[in-house]
Amino acid sequence: MLDINFIEENQKDVEKRLNHRGNDFSKDLKFVVEKNKRRKEILVEVEKLKATKNQLSKEIGFLIRDQKNGEIEQIKNKIVQMDVQIVELDEELKIVVKEMNDVLAGIPNLPDESVVVGADENDNVEVRKSSHPNLSTQAEPHWEIATKLQLVDFELGPKLSGSRFLVYTGLGSKLVRVIADILLTRHTNHGYKEFFLPVIVNAEAMYGTGQLPKFEEDAYKTGDQYLIPTAEVPLTNIHANEIIDGNKLPLNYTSFTQCFRQEAGSAGRDTKGMIRLHQFNKVELVKFAKPEESMNELEKLVIDAEAILKLFDLPYRVIQLCTGDMGFSSLKTYDLEVWFPSQNKYREISSCSNCGDFQARNMMARYKDENNKTQYVHTLNGSGLAIDRLIAAIMENYWDGEKLNLPPVLQPYFNNQKFIK
């Protein structure tokens, strides 16, 4: 969440920049500022009462020495009344802080000043595009190709689990694990530490990265725990409630997991194929960086995700998201989009974000700087990449109408075979 003291000191500027996201946050900001003022007032009142109480307690010692029992009783009664007041103020403080934090938790991150102001995806800015021409002229949907080659069973998934689930079969199953291995090998060879993580996390972890309370309806819940919507959640929470040695920053982590999302807001969108699933496969990249280095680390993160698209020689572009299209926890985001011939457009395959200290404040993830001062670390995350979408893109771009030509990087895993037919 945002720093309440920063909001209070820069309320008008914060309101202006947040409203660039497309919503009016003025009432929420006014509410949290008022609650914060009351929080500080209560703390002052409590400190005054405690100071007075301590002074009276000292006076009792002198009165006992002078055997002034009547005055002793009066002071003891005052102390009892002060204890009651302190308890009441402490209870009010808990309520005020909870009310303030509940609203703060629903306020998104402040867009960086370098982010283009815009309403939606139509205002995003193309940064660069791969130079090679599109590979396929067939424009056949990936779900038809996958069915012809018996790589995916689109009927068995709904039979077993419901809509937006699928089953990889035969060489399709092999593609998933092969691609996961290629991606992880590339990232670990470039300085990322690999983790194999639980796919169920507690509510604190979901809150830490900003999935709760804002996006609870999109999460799969099991008892008091949640299925992860992305490996970003457990990877980033590795350093929750910790103080990292600043000399070790930046830290680069990666993980392959299955991910789970209800896709609550996507009714009627991408109902066919492998673009928008309830259960999907992804290799995630997470970074922990010093504040002054985090924007540079964001550029490196994009390059690491982009390298995968180059490995598979796929047409793609990099875009910078405008203020109205950025994710809740992000202060700056780049999307990587891969070309889908059947749709005649680019589709997102990775989203790389710098979250600043927004998540770190929730998680209490900090580090010691060169002056031994404790500061909040900056967190970054990105897909490196979304495997199901990558497979779909490979099928559409390498299909020649009769067979699926395999990108050179895949051929060694298939006995140097050049195609699947």
**Roughly how many angstroms between the first and final C-alpha of the chain, as a whole number?**
51
Is 240 labeled as ligand-binding? no
Radius of gyration of the chain (CA): 27
258 closest CA partner among 305, 184, 174, 199? 199
In this prediction, residue 293 carries a pLDDT of: 98
Is 230 labeled as ligand-binding? yes
Residue 390 to residue 372: CA distance in whole angstroms: 44
Question: Which amino acid makes up residue 120?
Answer: D
In order along its 421 residues, the chain shows pLDDT tens digits of 999 999 999 999 999 999 999 999 999 999 999 999 999 999 999 999 999 988 887 776 666 555 555 677 788 888 888 899 999 999 999 999 999 999 999 999 999 999 999 999 999 999 999 987 665 567 899 999 999 999 999 999 999 999 999 999 999 999 999 999 999 999 999 999 999 999 999 999 999 999 999 899 999 999 999 999 999 999 999 999 999 999 999 999 999 999 999 986 666 676 789 999 999 999 999 999 999 999 999 999 999 999 999 999 999 999 999 999 999 999 999 999 999 999 999 999 999 999 999 999 999 999 999 999 999 999 999 999 999 999 999 999 999 999 999 999 999 999 999 999 8
Burial of 132: CB neighbours in 10 Å, binned 0-12, 13-18, 19+:
exposed
Is 383 labeled as ligand-binding? yes
Is 231 labeled as ligand-binding? yes
Is 330 labeled as ligand-binding? no
Is 59 labeled as ligand-binding? no
Q: How many CA atoms lie within 13 A of 374 on its CB side?
A: 9
> What is the chain's length?
421
Is 232 labeled as ligand-binding? yes
In this prediction, residue 264 carries a pLDDT of: 67
Is 124 labeled as ligand-binding? no
Sequential DSSP letters for 175-212: HHHHHHHHHHHHHHTTTPEEE---SEEEHHHHHHTT-T
In this prediction, residue 58 carries a pLDDT of: 76
291 closest CA partner among 152, 112, 417? 112
In this prediction, residue 170 carries a pLDDT of: 96
Is 284 labeled as ligand-binding? yes
Is 374 labeled as ligand-binding? no
Give the 3-state DSSP-derived string for 60-118, with helices as H, strands as E and coil as C: HHHHHHCCCHHHHHHHHHHHHHHHHHHHHHHHHHHHHHHHHHHHHCCCCCCCCCCCCCC
Complete domains list, the chain, with CATH:
4-104 (1.10.287), 121-420 (3.30.930.10)
Neighbours of 201 (CB within 10 A): 21
In this prediction, residue 150 carries a pLDDT of: 97
- Vertex 240, ends 239 and 242: CA angle to 5°? 70
User: Residues 173, 150: contact at Cβ < 8 Å?
Assistant: no
Task: Determine if the peptide bond prior to 234 is cis (ω within 30°).
Answer: no
Q: Which residue has the tokens 């598979």?
A: 312
Is 333 labeled as ligand-binding? no
CA distances for 28 relative to 36, 37, 141, 355, angstroms: 12, 14, 45, 21
In this prediction, residue 77 carries a pLDDT of: 83
Burial of 215: CB neighbours in 10 Å, binned 0-12, 13-18, 19+:
middle
Give the 3-state DSSP-derived string for 226-281, with helices as H, strands as E and coil as C: EECCCCHHHHHHHHCCEEEEHHHCCEEEEEEEEEECCCCCCCCCCCCCCCCCCEEE
In this prediction, residue 224 carries a pLDDT of: 95
186 closest CA partner among 302, 281, 308? 308
In this prediction, residue 381 carries a pLDDT of: 98
SS3 380: strand
Residue 377 to residue 368: CA distance in whole angstroms: 9
In this prediction, residue 268 carries a pLDDT of: 65
Report yes or no on whether pTM surpasses 0.85.
Answer: yes
